[in-house]
Amino acid sequence: MAVELKPGTRFRSAACEAEVVVVKAPAGPVDLRAGGHPMVPVGEDGPSGLAPEGPAGEGVLLGKRYTDAEGTIELLCTKAGPSTLSVGDEPLGLKDAKPLPSSD
């Protein structure tokens, strides 16, 4: 189920308690998933009773940003959960922090 993403839109997982907010969105619809299941906008009813599928990882960590390899999508975790975020079958990775300038 592909959805149109806009910065500021909030999504929740149908498989766990994880929630994210879109920081950067690509043009066109995206198949945003958590735990192998499509994410739903916060406030909308979605399927219930689903369990996370796919490889077990560290899950979604509160306050961390997740992005794809190309940097076209960026999500901020607002509620942690055991699911892995992905676009289709491609898992999203933890975004690296920008190094601070030296103060020599």
Where in the chain are the domains?
3-46+61-94
What's the pLDDT score for residue 54? 65
What's the pLDDT score for residue 61? 93
Q: Give the integer Cα–Cα distance in Å for 3 and 30.
A: 5
What's the pLDDT score for residue 52? 76
Q: Give the integer Cα–Cα distance in Å for 33 and 17.
A: 13
pTM to 2 decimals? 0.86
Q: One digit per residue, pLDDT tens: the chain, 104 residues?
A: 788 899 999 999 988 889 999 999 998 999 999 988 999 999 887 777 787 776 656 789 999 999 999 999 999 999 999 989 999 989 999 998 888 888 76
